Structure 1
């Protein structure tokens, strides 16, 4: 089986919510010598994008997206130890405070980005899903003076709007200059990031790690 065939099977396993198959294929891909990052970006992430697009188009609903999330998680259980082996030791990358916006429980992309940031040297403080902006601001205040990156995700347009409120609150509390802010999710665009005065967004988890490292320099 060629690499492209393995990637295609991985994508299909995510789309069809094949939990056991996702883990098995991830292991097969590793055994074939494919780097874990490629397995994620070329196999798993395209599947999650398809699922996200289908959800936005109301072609599937929450139970299906949660099952695809479980399939993704089963593959990541295989891949995360391999990512950890390549973790950059001794680099003071910073603290990444990760969260899903208030009113949103879609944590698949959030978990993947969190994993990728950890594998790239960030210390991780994961606040979880449906997180109040005041909670994020409180945590940012606790770590004022440190290298802090706020990483928020939102799959829905309604929860995305809370990102603007968060930026406003950070400015009100005189915390904006002490943190970097990166947001992602299906409705988030570069134009939106500029509009709310955040620092960056990214198309996928692998790019998110690269962007995060760059803005923390």
Structure 2
């Protein structure tokens, strides 16, 4: 089986919520000599994107999202230890990662947190359905450190909360002390510019690359 066929299998098992199949495909990728990074970037991430798009279109529902997340977790249990071997020794800052208030869909959030950690960030994972008050409190707790705020939203409704987060940062006088990235299926470059955040990314690997660049 070619590398692309293995990547397609990883992608499709996430989309179809095939838990055992996703784990098997991850093992197959490593046995074929593929890097964990390539398996995530070329297989799991495209699968996540399809899941997010289908949810937004009403073709998938919360139970499907949860099962896709379980499928991805099975693959990550195989791939994450391999990623850790390539972890950079240089600390580039602290990333506060979270899913926007009103949203409990963490499938992309988990991957971004892992990829940021592998690329030199200390991770403060606030989890899902996070209120702005908690975000502000965490930033104040980390005062003096280089901070990246990395938030995600899978729904258009929760995406609107990203604007509220930016306003909260301004109101608290914290905007200039943090870099802010937002991601998720409905998030676009246009939206990020509109709310005056710093960046967005197409996938978890792209998020890590952009995040490191932001902190320089």
Q: In which range does the TM-score fall when normalised by the shorter chain?
A: over 0.9
Contact 2:91 2:122 in 1 (8 A): no
Q: Which runs of 5+ in 2 are unaligned?
A: none
How far, CA to CA, are the matches of 1:172 and 1:50 in structure 2? 36
SS state of the match for residue 199, structure 1?
A: coil
Alpha-carbon deviation of 1:92? Answer: 2.4
Runs of 4+ in structure 1 deviating by more than 3 angstroms, as ranges, are none
Structure 2 equivalent of residue 136 of structure 1: 135
Alpha-carbon deviation of 1:173? Answer: 1.1
SS state of the match for residue 193, structure 2?
A: helix
How far, CA to CA, are the matches of 1:161 and 1:30 in structure 2? 39
Q: Which runs of 5+ in 1 are unaligned?
A: none
Structure 2 equivalent of residue 55 of structure 1: 55
C-alpha distance after superposition, 1:114-164 (max 9, x if no partner)? 010011110001000000011001101111211000000011111111111
Structure 2 equivalent of residue 65 of structure 1: 65
Structure 2 equivalent of residue 86 of structure 1: 86
Alignment of 1:91-102 (within 5 A): 91-102=90-101
C-alpha distance after superposition, 1:172-191 (max 9, x if no partner)? 11111111110001111111
SS state of the match for residue 96, structure 2?
A: strand
Structure 1 equivalent of residue 199 of structure 2: 200
How far, CA to CA, are the matches of 2:35 and 2:155 in structure 1? 32
Alignment of 1:1-217 (within 5 A): 1-89=1-89, 91-217=90-216
Alpha-carbon deviation of 1:70? Answer: 0.5
How far, CA to CA, are the matches of 2:49 and 2:6 in structure 1? 17
